[in-house]
Amino acid sequence: MFSHDTIAAISTPPGLGGIGIIRLSGPQAAAIVQSLFHKPSFWQSPSSHRLSLGNIIDPLTETPIDQVLVSYMKAPGTYTREDVLEINCHSGPLVLKKILELVCRGGARLAGPGEFTLRAFLNGRIDLTQAEGIIEIIQAQTDQALTQANKLLQGEHRRRLSELQEHLLTLSALLEAAIDFPEEELEILDRAEWNRLLTNQVLNPLDDLIRAYEEGRPFREGLSLVLVGKPNVGKSSLLNLLLKEERAIVTPIPGTTRDTIEETILINGLLIRLVDTAGIRQARDEVEEAGIRRTRQKVSDAQMVFFMLDTSRPLEEEDRLIFGEIGDKPTLILLNKMDLPLAFSENEVQDTFPGLIFLPISAKTGEGIDTLKKKISALVNQTIYPETLPDLIPTLRQKIVFEQMIESLTRAAELSAQGESPEFIALDLQKALEDLGTLIGSTTTEDILDRVFSRFCIGK
């Protein structure tokens, strides 16, 4: 399935830099670049996968645009399995724009998001799980996420899915044989054994994959850590300190934060989604009430909570009521404003909130912040993350398909146990096979391709 047009795009991020790359793929890629890249010796016998130094010149005005390195990669040994050329120029917005305009004037068209990778898929270079591995590599923010993304790219997930596909095809063949030879159904189809194989070879592995998604989700998306407490205890100050920027407005006036503020931060290799919330108290207007309602929802969804107390004010019943809303979430009590005179002792904290870890800090001076970061790592590793990650962690799209497959296959097992006709059981098995095909791309639709490749940037 080689395309008949040639696509082009800037493949490096926008902005000033040392190197910018314009990538072309398609049957006219070499001819287009040849009309711009003035180095006759290179085009007399171009070597694949070699870099050559020369100049890009506007063929209409004969004006030099930039000194560049051009690489020519001949099909099918390329990323897209088409002829691919890359122009490595100096990375400035104007020079990149100018060269891209010349390339398009020569006959290329602008590529859409992920279109180079889409061509790699359509031309059999990769399957859909590997395509998802590429975008996961680009978006990875932790070592663990990068490791899992590489497993997708290297095809480990595809091999696991192929095993499931083989098991389903074998089970489906038994059903088809029973359908074709109804008189011998009892001899062909041992339903108890068939159900056992379905459970052990397909349903249980699917359950394991869904569980792996949930266990690995924090490494990919970040762990939700919510800051809660009364108004003006220092939650926004701590957020700004950890982010090292003035992300939240801080004033002495209680209730400044009226909505949740969420930012991602990397702490000791852990991806954390830090959520600053409105202080919980009796709301004074509808806006504040909406903010407090959102705070309660964020606490409910959190995987970990920082409960903040102001050590310059005595403990109040309001603190106890707020703490009661946290429930059984992993919680660290932060005793903030240690730079001010203390209004209560650590013993009072232990008596009021027994059994919990507490840490004195100052979001104003930075006291205790390094210890806080270490406490985060320890608490996360002890209470949230598994000791070892699963071998493979599916993406959200894959997890949804696995759930659909389990629904169909569970129904098939129930029908088999009830002695229903093999024809009805086979329909559910066929549905599961079709769902599995959408994961690897053997059976897919334009809608599925759009969902996968729309996540890519232009130029990849």
The CATH number given to whatever domain includes residue 18 is 3.30.1360.120
The reported pLDDT for the residue numbered 408 is: 94
pLDDT tens string 91-133: 988 999 999 999 999 999 999 988 999 999 989 898 888 888 8
198 pLDDT band, cuts 50/70/90, is very high
183 and 116 within one domain: no
83 and 215 within one domain: no
Domain assignment present for residue 452? The answer is no
Domain assignment present for residue 457? The answer is no
CB atoms within 10 A of CB 106: 19
Domain assignment present for residue 449? The answer is no
Q: Which domain holds residue 74?
A: 7-125
The residues that bridge with 300 in the sheet, in sequence order, are: none
Average pLDDT, the chain: 83
Domain assignment present for residue 445? The answer is no
87 and 136 within one domain: no
Residue 450 has pLDDT above 90, yes or no: no
The reported pLDDT for the residue numbered 181 is: 64
Among 125, 152, 175, the domain-final residue is 125
The reported pLDDT for the residue numbered 43 is: 80
Domain assignment present for residue 275? The answer is yes
242 and 188 within one domain: yes
Among 125, 145, 168, the domain-final residue is 125
Distance CA 15, CA 389 (A): 37
Domain assignment present for residue 241? The answer is yes
The reported pLDDT for the residue numbered 45 is: 77
Among 125, 157, 182, the domain-final residue is 125
pLDDT tens string 151-177: 888 888 888 888 999 999 888 888 887
| CATH number where 268 lies | 3.40.50.300
156 and 197 within one domain: yes
The reported pLDDT for the residue numbered 291 is: 62
Domain assignment present for residue 36? The answer is yes
Domain assignment present for residue 85? The answer is yes
Lowest mean pLDDT among 68-72, 146-150, 268-272, 301-305: 268-272
Lowest mean pLDDT among 260-269, 389-398, 444-453: 444-453
For the whole prediction, is pTM greater than 0.75? no
Calculate helix-pair angle for 128-139, 143-153, nearest 10 degrees: 160
383 pLDDT band, cuts 50/70/90, is low
Distance CA 161, CA 143 (A): 24
150 and 95 within one domain: no
251 pLDDT band, cuts 50/70/90, is very low
206 and 297 within one domain: yes
215 and 98 within one domain: no
pLDDT tens string 428-438: 999 999 999 88
Could you tell me the end-to-end alpha-carbon distance of the chain, in angstroms, rounded to an integer? 19
- In percent, the amount of the chain with pLDDT more than 70 equals 85
Distance CA 217, CA 259 (A): 25
Identify which has the larger pLDDT, 348 or 280: 348
Lowest mean pLDDT among 126-130, 148-152, 296-300: 296-300
Distance CA 230, CA 327 (A): 17
The reported pLDDT for the residue numbered 378 is: 79
154 and 101 within one domain: no
Distance CA 249, CA 257 (A): 7
* Cβ atoms 246, 276 nearer than 8 A: no
The reported pLDDT for the residue numbered 281 is: 53
189 pLDDT band, cuts 50/70/90, is low
The reported pLDDT for the residue numbered 256 is: 46
Q: Tell me the average pLDDT across 280-291.
A: 56
Q: Which of 25-34, 183-192, 243-252 has the highest mean predicted lDDT (pLDDT)?
A: 25-34
The reported pLDDT for the residue numbered 250 is: 46
234 and 362 within one domain: yes
310 and 199 within one domain: yes
pLDDT tens string 318-350: 888 888 878 788 888 899 998 888 888 888 888
The reported pLDDT for the residue numbered 248 is: 47
Lowest mean pLDDT among 42-56, 123-137, 295-309, 386-400: 386-400
Q: How many domains does the chain have?
A: 2
pLDDT tens string 10-20: 999 887 888 99
65 and 149 within one domain: no
Q: Which of 74-83, 274-283, 352-361 has the highest mean predicted lDDT (pLDDT)?
A: 74-83
